[in-house]
C-alpha cells in the first residue's frame, strides 16, 4: 500500500496543521505557552482547570461523532478505518471526559488559550474524522500490515505512558500538602515531560498505522507544541529545585 491519499483540499488543511504547529514552536520557543503555572493575565480571565480542559478537548470527541452520524461515512465499512478512528476517539474520550475530572487543584487556564485549543480541536477533529470516514482507502488486509500493527502498538504504549505519567503528577502531593515536588518514577526518571512524551508517541503510532498525511501532520503539530511545553517545564524545574536531576532530558530519553 502506498501512502494513503486525501483530496487536495484536505491535504492543504493537513499541511496547515503541521505548519501552524511549527510556527507556534518557533514563536514561543523561548517564552513558552501561557497556561497553568506559566499563565499570564493578558491572555484573559482564567477558567477553572477541570472546566477548561474538558471544554477545549471535547470537540475532538463530539465532531467525529457528528461526522460518523451525519455524513455518508462510507469508508467506515472497512475495519482499518474503524480502528483508526476509534484510536482517535478513545484518546479524546479520556482527555475530555476522564482526565479533567481527575485533576487535583489544577491551575486555572486563561480563556484565550481555551478558545484557541477549542478551535484547533474542532478543526483537527473534523479533518481526521472526515478523512477516515469518507476518503481514506485501505484494503481489509491493512490490519495485518506491519505498519498498522506496529503503529497501533506504539499508540497503545504511548497512551499508557501518558495516563500513567498524569497519575504520577496528580499524586505528587498528599492531602493537605501544598507547593511543588519533583516527579519521580516511570518515564519521569529520564525526561521532564513524560506525559508529553507519551502523547507524542501516541500520535506517531497513529501516523504509522494510518500511513496518511493526516496522521503525520497531527503528529508533527503535537511534537512542536508539546516540545515547547516540556522545555518550559524543564527550565522551570531547574530554576525551582537545586537538586533537580541534571541528567534528566526534556522530552526524548537520553537525547533531548
Q: Tell me, yes or no, whether 226 lies in a domain.
A: yes
Per-residue pLDDT of 167-211, as tens digits, reads 999 998 777 677 789 999 999 999 999 999 999 999 999 999 999
Report the domain count for the chain.
1
Q: Which helix (DSSP H) or strand (DSSP E) does residue 138 occupy?
A: none
d(CA 116, CA 138): 33
Q: Which domain holds residue 139?
A: 11-172+179-240
Q: Tell me, yes or no, whether 5 lies in a domain.
A: no
Q: Tell me, yes or no, whether 6 lies in a domain.
A: no
Q: Tell me, yes or no, whether 15 lies in a domain.
A: yes
Q: Tell me, yes or no, whether 1 lies in a domain.
A: no
Per-residue pLDDT of 81-119, as tens digits, reads 999 999 999 999 999 999 999 988 778 899 999 999 999
Beta bridge partners of 110: 46
Predicted pLDDT at 196: 98
Per-residue pLDDT of 128-178, as tens digits, reads 999 999 999 999 899 999 999 999 999 999 999 999 999 999 998 777 677
- Burial class of residue 39 in the structure, from the number of CB atoms within 10 Å of its CB (0-12 exposed, 13-18 middle, 19+ buried): middle
Q: Tell me, yes or no, whether 100 lies in a domain.
A: yes
Instruction: Please tell me the pTM assigned to this model.
Output: 0.93
d(CA 193, CA 104): 19
Q: Tell me, yes or no, whether 57 lies in a domain.
A: yes
Q: Tell me, yes or no, whether 115 lies in a domain.
A: yes
Chain center to CA of 106? 18
d(CA 236, CA 253): 19
Amino acid at each position: 500500500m502506498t501512502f494513503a491519499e486525501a483530496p487536495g483540499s484536505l491535504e492543504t488543511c493537513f499541511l496547515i496543521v503541521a505548519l501552524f504547529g511549527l510556527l507556534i514552536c518557533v514563536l514561543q520557543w523561548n517564552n513558552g505557552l501561557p497556561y497553568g503555572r506559566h499563565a499570564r493575565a493578558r491572555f484573559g480571565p482564567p477558567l477553572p482547570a477541570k472546566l477548561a480542559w474538558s471544554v477545549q478537548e471535547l470537540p475532538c470527541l463530539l465532531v467525529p461523532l457528528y461526522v460518523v452520524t451525519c455524513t455518508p461515512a462510507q469508508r467506515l465499512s472497512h475495519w482499518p478505518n474503524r480502528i483508526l478512528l476509534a484510536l482517535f476517539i478513545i484518546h479524546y474520550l479520556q482527555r475530555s471526559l476522564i482526565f479533567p475530572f481527575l485533576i487535583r487543584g489544577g491551575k486555572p487556564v486563561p480563556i484565550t488559550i481555551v478558545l484557541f485549543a477549542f478551535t484547533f480541536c474542532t478543526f483537527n477533529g473534523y479533518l481526521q474524522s472526515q478523512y477516515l470516514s469518507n476518503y481514506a482507502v485501505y484494503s481489509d488486509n491493512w490490519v495485518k500490515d506491519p505498519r498498522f500493527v506496529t503503529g497501533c502498538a506504539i499508540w497503545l504504549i504511548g497512551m499508557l505512558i501518558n495516563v500513567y505519567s498524569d497519575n504520577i503528577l496528580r499524586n505528587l502531593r498528599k492531602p493537605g500538602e501544598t507547593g511543588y515536588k519533583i516527579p519521580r518514577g516511570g518515564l519521569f526518571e529520564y525526561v521532564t515531560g513524560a506525559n508529553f512524551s507519551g502523547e507524542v508517541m501516541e500520535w506517531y503510532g497513529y501516523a504509522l498505522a494510518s500511513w496518511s498525511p493526516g496522521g503525520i501532520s497531527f503528529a508533527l503539530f503535537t511534537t512542536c507544541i508539546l516540545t515547547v511545553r516540556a522545555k518550559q517545564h524543564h527550565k522551570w524545574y531547574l530554576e525551582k529545585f537545586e537538586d533537580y536531576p541534571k541528567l534528566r532530558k526534556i522530552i526524548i530519553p537520553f537525547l533531548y
